[in-house]
Amino acid sequence: MWWLIAAVGLGIPLVVTAMPEFGMFAVGAVASAVTAALGGGTVIQFLVFAAVSVALVAVVRPLANRHRTQRPVLASGIDALKGKSATVLERVDGAGGRIKLGGEIWSARALDGDRAYEPGSQVDVVEIEGATAVVI
């Protein structure tokens, strides 16, 4: 019974602070409660609590950190336009121009100000600055 009370006690900080480690310790307490229900001694109960808690922290925490730091697989908005090819509609140079990008007409400028792209040529979008595509 004490292990279940400990599990609930560890679950409260999990909800309040959103620290997943408390949840892992709560699962360890539940595993110890099961061990106690099966007739395991006090020493075995504490060993099960420690083993399950440490195993969960050692396995789940690195997975959660890796998942948290990964960039989204599906790019959206202006991030989805970076790296796309476009067709030059009006001459594009360091001062500006127009391109057709993703079915829409965009203002554009060349990344290298000395470079110019003539109508009909293909360019790649490097960056989006406001409503202007920077191309190479």
For the chain, list the strands marked E by DSSP: 85-93, 96-101, 104-110, 122-129, 132-135
Q: Which element (helix H / strand E) includes 6?
A: helix 2-17
pLDDT for position 75: 76
Mean pLDDT of residues grouped by 10 in the chain (136 residues)?
86 78 90 94 94 92 82 78 94 95 94 93 95 94
For 23-49, what is each residue's pLDDT tens digit? 889 999 999 999 999 999 999 999 999
